[in-house]
Structure 1
Amino acid sequence: MKRFDSGRRPGRDSPGRVLALLVLASVTVMTLDAKAGDASPVDGLRSAVGNVVGPVETAADGVARPFTSVKAFFRTNDSLRADVSRLEADNARLRSARATDPLDRKRLAALDGLTRTVAETGYSLVAARVVAMGPLQSFSRTVTIDAGTSAGVRKDMTVLNNDGLVGRVVRATRSTATVLLVVDRDSVVGGRLGSNLEIGFLRGRGSVGDGGRLELDLVDNAVMPAKDDVVVTWGSENGVPYVAGIPIGTVTSVVSSPRQSSRRAVIKPFVNFSALDVVGVVVPKGTRGDRPVVAAGGVR
């Protein structure tokens, strides 16, 4: 007698039945958990699963974080480098500004002095800076300024600063000019004593340092210059090469020559020729050029 065979093998259920049982079990657990509230019978199981899975998740996050943070690290590092570069540049600018601040103040004071000179004398000036000094090998005391014919500067124009007479222009290009200093041995300037208006001629001794001096030969040998008397320019025809009334220096001593029956006064210049910077060139009124002219009534 044959055994009845339903066509199913023992131990194997259809996939649909297994899925249905799993869904039924899930619904049952969810219903019990919702009805029980805080006393849910699955709390213990949930806690157990959390205790097992939680450390695994933390460990996995710890392993993955260095890799996920690489991009953010480089982005932050680049930003910090940019900030450091910007701060270094700002500090460099501040150090430079601090270092040049005394020079800027001195130049501003020099320009203010030129403005006062204009107000006192009525002359028009082109402001310029000394950019070079002639070599000692040339045996000539000259400086180069950064103003030339394009600014209205020409040969045989008077050059001064806020202390007094500097010299005269001996040649000019479009953008620069060469100035022969009054302390040069070849320089001759007509001077006048402030106390008695006596006139004479000043010649340089060739030194530009603190010991730089001029010698004044008076036209009238009978006149005795007084110590500390001020000497100013007495001027030339049409103000060329020297305009009148510019301070030159003071009398420090008088040397007499019995053989020639003459007296020669030693003059200490007001200008410090070894520290020349801002100067002014006296130009005719109405001069127009590529830089402002300081004149009575303001800058034009």
Structure 2
Amino acid sequence: MPLGTLDRSPPPFFRQGPSALTRVVFFASLAICLMALDTRAGLTAPLRTALAAALHPVQQLMLAPVLAMAGGRDYLGGITQARESAESARAQLARQGERALQVEQLLRENERLRGLLELRSRVNVVSHAAQVIYDAADPYTRKIVIDRGSSHGLRQGAPVINEVGVLGQVTRLYPLTAEVTLLTDRDSALPVLLPRKAIRSIAMGEPRRGALELRFVAANADVQVGDVVETSGLDGVYPGGYPVGTVRQVDRRTQSDFAQIELTPAAPPDGVRHVLVLDPLAPLLPAAPAASAPASGASGGARRPVPRGKTP
């Protein structure tokens, strides 16, 4: 073959065209121009919108398997959760049924015991809802003022409680308002009972620490931290069984025969807005038996019987 007929052009693989640097500069400049035009004039917004609308069916088609798997997983998980909830509900219903049977049995037993012992039924105490207006102006006392008074049926010495326990007692009564002395006041005293060991005591206020202190409890008494303290109902003011506080600290290392017991109030007075005022318990209790009259001859000695037919 003659040499003049040979194709001396490089094959397509070796045709490189513009250099790499030239292409980088060109496409970078084009990208910068497009970004500038998009920022200034928003030229690519219609193109982007049309492209998104065109690709939406494709996206939904691609997401269909993922959504189907997620829906199936949620369905199976919902079935499992429903079965667990049903089993839990059945177990709870069984426990409630057992508890209801026990409560009914205890109620019947209580009625039989009360009938056997001829005990009086629990006194129904009349209550009055009230709202706290403000704290008392004296900084050395713990008192609050409520928006109910004698015109609303409140009585002097009425106990005041809220949803968690005893707060105090009405000490001053006005026609439209009343002053309540809180349990943490230094002049407050309340007969209480520790139900765990049936220990009676007196709860006194400690305003400096915002707590209560049990007085006259023997140092060797079985009182533990966490014991619940309730009203004893022996003062004729507070009904028995209302929460007063919880034992916070017991100190038996004292020089006296009594332990120092500190209580956390069951109803903290700070932040209280609504209270319940109960009628005093004393008017609802039976009257105390009158003292027997002294014998007629107690002051002058016994009188001798007079013989029949003779005058004294």
Give the TM-score of the pair, scaled to structure 2: 0.48
Q: TM-score, normalised by structure 1?
A: 0.50
Q: Which has the larger radius of gyration?
A: 1
